[in-house]
Amino acid sequence: VKVDSFASQEALGFTSRAPRWAIAFKFPPEEKQTVLREIRIQVGRTGVLTPVAEFDPVTVAGSTIARATLHNLDEIRRKNVREGDTIIVHKAGDVIPEVVGPVLSLRPADAVEFQMPTTCPSCGSPVIQEEGEVAFRCVSIDCPAQAVERLIHWGSRKAMDIDGLGDELINRMVEEGVLSDVADFYDKLTEETLANMPTGRVYDTDTADHLSGDSIPVGHTIAKKVMAKVEESKTRGLGRVLFGIGMRHVGANVAELLAQEFGSIQALATAPVEKIAEIPGIGPKIAESVHEFFSIPENVAVIERLRQAGVVLEEEKAENELPQTLAGLTFVLTGTLEHFTRDEAGAQLKAMGAKVSGSVSKKTSFVVAGEAAGSKLTKAESLGVPVLNEAALQQILETGQAPA
């Protein structure tokens, strides 16, 4: 709903989050009942065990859903769901399947409280829960499920962006012993090997009405395209590499901060924990995780193989570099911007010397708040960090000067 007078709109103006002359209303999400058949454990790339609800398929908001993450054991306890329960599901934001909770009046008499496993369902190694964390974690560095997830993550769009590597294909290559770590993409995988890999899809030579018979190989046409993407990925940049190798607590923004600060993977690998922790937006938890990663000989060996394969592990200085007028300033971008994405705005700020962080702290110089800004804006206000709207951001990008 908007005020339909331009003069009134101008008089009302904007808050840091949104215009004062408009408000959005959402209909409550559609909810359906279904039966929770199993809580299955999924092992992630860092060994975290995530419980996933698998339920009878049900159509919600225009599509059929049959599973939803339950995040962790604390969330299962909070929602009080058990296998066999009749549950209510919806799509959070009309997009993401979510378990709302159980219909307690329909709970079976034999439904028991869910317990996390004590051993990894993939490799059988012990599962631990570190003090102060809600996550349960597989301790093995040789866990096949972790290997698959690490490889999938390495090829993902925000990491090395190797198009054509589907999850099923990577799973199959791990099973066949073709891939075990990210360096295998560069010094082990060949076009011939990839072309002959079965895709898992099958066909019938007599009829196309149903799928059966022999599995279809990837083929040379697709294999050639994938290998070209593998070659292209060598020059994605240090930030992408640091994100792609999958260090705990290191997301895309933190990886870019580390790349900007240290300039090479060698400098980061040999940096003291204290120096890493001093970087705005990093802190001791991330610093310890980075230090721990490079203290493991197997990880160092993979990095060295990447170097020998020609993967760029240093930051390249941009030609025609802009004046570094924002050097020493740290920005946090939150909410939806109208004229560009947060990634685009962040790239422009970095080009002028600024650091762009994913978290707010006392060391943050400015928070740029777009529409529907959330907890980062709240934290900025509580810490007294200056908050800018999109118009102020545009002025900074045009002039190269931050507000005094």
The DSSP code sequence of 10-77 is HHH-B-SSSBTTB----PPPP-EEEEEEEEEEEE-TTSEEEEEEEEEEEEETTEEEEEEE--SHHHHH
Q: Is residue 90 part of a domain?
A: yes
Q: Is residue 318 part of a domain?
A: no
pLDDT at 201: 52
Which CATH number fits the domain that encloses residue 356? 3.40.50.10190
pLDDT at 11: 84
| Residue among 94, 46, 101 at smallest CA distance from 70 | 101
Crossing angle of the two packed helices 342-351 and 252-262, in degrees rounded to 10: 10
pLDDT at 200: 60
Q: Is residue 23 part of a domain?
A: no
d(CA 162, CA 115): 38
Q: Is residue 351 part of a domain?
A: yes
Q: Within this chain, do residues 158 and 101 fall inside the same structural domain, yes or no?
A: no
In angstroms, how far is the first alpha carbon of the chain from the final one? Answer: 36
pLDDT at 21: 87
Q: Which two tokens stand for residue 262?
A: 């240290």
pLDDT at 336: 86
Q: How many helices (H) and strands (E) does the chain have?
A: 16, 13
Q: Within this chain, do residues 188 and 222 fall inside the same structural domain, yes or no?
A: yes
d(CA 335, CA 377): 9
- Final residue of a structural domain among 168, 203, 234: 234
Residue 57 is which amino acid? P
pLDDT at 203: 43
The H-or-E segment that residue 300 falls in is helix 297-308
pLDDT at 202: 44
Rounded to the nearest 5°, which phi and psi values hold at 369? Answer: -110, 115
**DSSP conformation letters of 229-257:** HHHHGGGS-HHHHHHHTT-TT--HHHHHH
- Final residue of a structural domain among 189, 208, 234: 234
- Final residue of a structural domain among 79, 106, 140: 140
Which domain covers residue 245, as residue numbers?
Answer: 238-308
**DSSP conformation letters of 101-130:** EE-GGG--TT-------SB-TTT--BEE--
Q: Is residue 404 part of a domain?
A: no
d(CA 164, CA 89): 32
Residue 178's contacts (CB-CB under 8 Å, 6 or more residues apart) are 184, 188, 189, 193, 197
Q: Are 165 and 153 in contact (CB under 8 A)?
A: no
Going by the DSSP 8-state scheme, the letter that residue 200 receives in this structure is E
Rg (CA), the chain: 25
Q: Is residue 73 part of a domain?
A: yes
Structural domain count, the chain: 4
d(CA 85, CA 106): 7
| Residues of the chain falling short of pLDDT 70 | 15-17, 200-215, 317-321
d(CA 155, CA 168): 13
Residues shown for the chain: 404
